[in-house]
Amino acid sequence: MREMLKDKFKPRIKARLRKNKQIINKNINTFFDWVKGAELVELKECNTKEDPVRPELDNVFRRSYGRKIYGVKYMGEIHAVMCFAYTNQIPKNVDELNKFSHDAFLQSAQRDQNVGKIAIAYTVWSKKKGGGKLIVKEVFKKIKKSNHLNRLITLSPLTDMATKFHSKNGAKLLKVNETTQNFEYEVMKK
């Protein structure tokens, strides 16, 4: 009896495995299509309510004194967002980030117009699987190509999620502060 049941279900199991394999392959191909077709763009604004890290910072803050908003765009939609401040020092909190980016901006106005030597990523979020990793990779490429930026450092919250994200993407923990932590992505210029 057992052999009969086994033989009866074998073709069904094989058919289900084939179908699942097709679904998985289709999903993988769709994922890589969006990753390959995505581009890094500078944004004038973002929906700050979507920001899981620092929703209290408005678009004026995110675009003032050399600060920038970048997004990964695919088929007209933004799938991941990363906000930066350019500084000459590593901040421990948002107040220092504001002060240091303001100082770097004013210093650059009197010199070469290149704001800061350090890119501080202070928030990142993704609306599509793989978007966070992709935006880190794309921004990293942009920083490597710049003439004035020589470091990529984060101002991350003290969460396991932030620690795992940055560690998994190759960053090294620099310092744990009272309310934040700083990770550094090694920038090697060519």
How far apart CA 98 and CA 93 sit, in angstroms, is: 9
In this structure, which topology does domain 40-185 adopt according to CATH? Aminopeptidase (3.40.630)
* Distance from the first to the final alpha carbon of the chain: 69
The pairs formed by 57-65 with CB atoms below 8 angstroms and a separation of 24 or more are 57/83, 57/94, 57/123, 61/98, 65/98, 65/101, 65/102, 65/104, 65/105, 65/106, 65/115
Q: Among residues 22, 18, 109, 105, which one has the least CA distance to residue 67?
A: 105
How far apart CA 180 and CA 167 sit, in angstroms, is: 15
Length of the chain: 190
Q: What is the pLDDT of residue 127?
A: 87
pLDDT digits (tens, 9 = 90+) for 94-106: 999 999 999 988 8
Residue type at 162? A
Q: What is the pLDDT of residue 11?
A: 63
Confidence of residue 52 (pLDDT cuts 50, 70, 90): very high
Q: What is the pLDDT of residue 34?
A: 47
Q: Among residues 160, 172, 118, 190, which one has the least CA distance to residue 182?
A: 172
Percentage above 90 pLDDT, the chain? 47
Confidence of residue 45 (pLDDT cuts 50, 70, 90): very high
Q: Is the pLDDT of residue 20 over 90?
A: no
Structural tokens at position 122: 């202070």
User: In terms of pLDDT, which residue wins out, 139 or 31?
Assistant: 139
185 in Cβ contact with 171 (< 8 Å): yes
Q: What is the pLDDT of residue 28?
A: 47
Structural tokens at position 99: 């002060």
Structural tokens at position 41: 């763009």
- By mean pLDDT, which of 22-31, 37-46, 71-80, 138-147 is the weakest? 22-31
pLDDT digits (tens, 9 = 90+) for 122-162: 999 998 888 888 888 888 788 778 777 888 999 999 999 99
Confidence of residue 172 (pLDDT cuts 50, 70, 90): very high
In the chain, what are the domain boundaries?
1-37, 40-185
Q: Is the pLDDT of residue 1 over 60?
A: no
Confidence of residue 111 (pLDDT cuts 50, 70, 90): low
